[in-house]
């Protein structure tokens, strides 16, 4: 099907609507929908939270009787199955929609194409592929989990200009400025879960939570989210040797925590929101690949890795990172300071990890670099 410029405009609007759910829809994908009739937008909506109405339902509710005879522009193929809500394909059919254009088909192999098939069988004209790349960019975690059975892993790293993360004595507060730290809070809030290691929790007494008071100074406030929509990402900590104790600050915030371990710790009285998850060993440590698969089975799409140079290095070494976000401060910390990632010694330049820069942005006085591992043929 040949798409018109008007089609592109309406789908672009649906994509912008979908972005409004980026802090709240987990584990569901971000989806937007626009209903158009006689060249006029008669209804629009986005999916706000799992268990609540999908984008199509919200758009139909806004349009009312005007939905009959309209064209729907949806960023993701309308669902075809009963979950927490009824299938949207049936809802569009009952509302009298005559054409549905989806940016992409559902990546879930169990349901892919079935929503469009339901509509076709009912005589509704369908098409897909309009602004597909932009739609894919809305939900990298959901798509990755559907295709690979693992979450999309973003590794966040902060360093001085000479690649150092802490002084020799361990001091690291603060390498980057307040704007960069606000930006990190924004990213934490958009992820399903935050992963760190026991060393970070113990040595830094880190909480690893979203500090929403810092987000109030960003574009986050434009969404006008209710207090019940604000959530703490699941906090996950790798503790293969059971060194963590309930008295740490990490456990004083009442939000879901998963401890990844090779042996259950039955000696400690963990709070009710703490779950211990058994993961097999690999080379004496937790098998990180298996851990990711287990986390994906718990509907974790986007995993934000904030850890020390050892754990970050291991994820890199095993090619388990999908995206890197570097914050680089205009500081020089010297040779004796701690490095960025701990990787095995390379003896040939062909062995080094190569990245592709996707974005370079000034955040306050610091530089933020978004990069992805370079694809090898």
Whether residue 13 has pLDDT greater than 90: yes
Residues with Cβ within 8 Å of residue 52, at least 6 apart in sequence: 85
Q: Is residue 56 annotated as a catalytic residue, yes or no? A: yes
Mean pLDDT confidence for 141-160: 96
Residue-by-residue DSSP string for 185-213: HHHHHHSSEEEEEHHHHHHS-------HH
**Residues 192-231 pLDDT 10s:** 999 999 999 998 888 999 988 877 767 677 777 777 778 8
336 in the same domain as 311: yes
Instruction: Could you list the residues known to form a binding site for NADP(+), using ranges.
Output: 158, 174, 200, 204, 240
328 in the same domain as 235: yes
133 in the same domain as 238: no
285 in the same domain as 225: yes
User: Domain containing 308 — which CATH number?
Assistant: 3.40.430.10
Whether residue 132 has pLDDT greater than 90: yes
Q: Residue 174: is the preceding peptide bond cis (ω within 30°)?
A: yes
296 in the same domain as 162: yes
357 in the same domain as 238: yes
> Which of residues 107, 138, 169 is at a domain's end?
138
From 56, 214, 222, 365, active-site residue: 56
267 in the same domain as 149: yes
28 in the same domain as 176: no
Instruction: Could you list the residues known to form a binding site, using ranges.
Output: 54, 79, 88, 158, 172, 174, 188, 200, 204, 211, 240, 306
Report the domain count for the chain.
Answer: 2
**Residues 271-305 pLDDT 10s:** 999 999 999 998 888 999 999 999 999 999 999 99
Could you report how far apart the first and last alpha carbons of the chain are, in Å?
32
**What share of the chain has pLDDT > 70, as a percent?**
98
Instruction: Could you list the residues known to form a binding site for substrate, using ranges.
Output: 172, 188, 211, 306
Q: Give the domain range for residue 295.
A: 140-373
242 in the same domain as 197: yes
Q: Which two tokens stand for residue 196?
A: 């760190």
- Per-residue CA distances from 92 to 78, 100, 125, 127, 367 (Å): 9, 9, 12, 14, 45
Whether residue 74 has pLDDT greater than 80: yes
Q: What pLDDT score does 298 carry?
A: 94
């Amino acid at each position: 099907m040949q798409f018109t410029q008007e089609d592109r405009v309406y789908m672009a609007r649906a994509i912008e609507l979908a972005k409004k759910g980026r802090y709240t829809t987990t584990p569901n994908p971000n989806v937007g929908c626009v209903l158009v009739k006689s060249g006029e937008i008669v209804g629009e909506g986005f999916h706000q939270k799992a268990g609540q109405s999908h984008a199509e339902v919200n758009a139909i509710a806004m349009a009312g009787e005007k939905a009959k005879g309209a064209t729907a522009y949806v960023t993701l193929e309308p669902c075809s199955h009963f979950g927490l809500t009824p299938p949207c394909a049936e809802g569009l059919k009952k509302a009298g929609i005559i054409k549905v254009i989806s940016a992409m088909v559902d990546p879930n192999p169990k349901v892919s194409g079935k929503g469009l098939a339901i509509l076709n069988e009912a005589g509704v004209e369908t098409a897909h592929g309009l602004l597909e790349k932009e739609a894919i960019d809305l939900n990298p975690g959901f798509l990755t989990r559907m295709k690979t059975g693992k979450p999309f892993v973003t590794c966040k790293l902060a360093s001085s200009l000479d690649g150092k993360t802490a002084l020799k004595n361990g001091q690291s507060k603060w390498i980057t400025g307040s704007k960069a730290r606000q930006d990190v809070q924004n990213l934490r809030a958009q992820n399903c879960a935050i992963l760190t290691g026991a060393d970070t929790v113990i040595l830094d007494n880190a909480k690893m939570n979203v500090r929403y008071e810092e987000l109030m100074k960003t574009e986050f406030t434009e969404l006008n989210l209710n207090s019940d929509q604000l959530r703490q990402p699941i906090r996950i900590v790798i503790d293969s040797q059971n060194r963590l104790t309930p008295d740490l600050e990490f456990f004083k915030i009442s939000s879901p925590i998963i401890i990844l371990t090779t042996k259950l710790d039955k000696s400690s009285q963990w709070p009710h929101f703490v779950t211990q998850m058994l993961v097999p060993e690999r080379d004496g440590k937790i098998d990180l690949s298996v851990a990711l698969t287990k986390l994906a089975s718990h509907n974790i799409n986007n995993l934000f890795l904030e850890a020390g140079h050892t754990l970050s290095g291991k994820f890199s070494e095993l090619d388990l990172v999908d995206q890197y976000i570097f914050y680089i401060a205009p500081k020089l910390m010297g040779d004796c300071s701690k490095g960025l990632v701990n990787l095995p010694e390379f003896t040939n330049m062909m062995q080094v990890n190569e990245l592709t820069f996707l974005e370079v942005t000034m955040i306050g006085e610091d530089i933020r670099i978004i990069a992805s591992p370079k694809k090898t043929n």
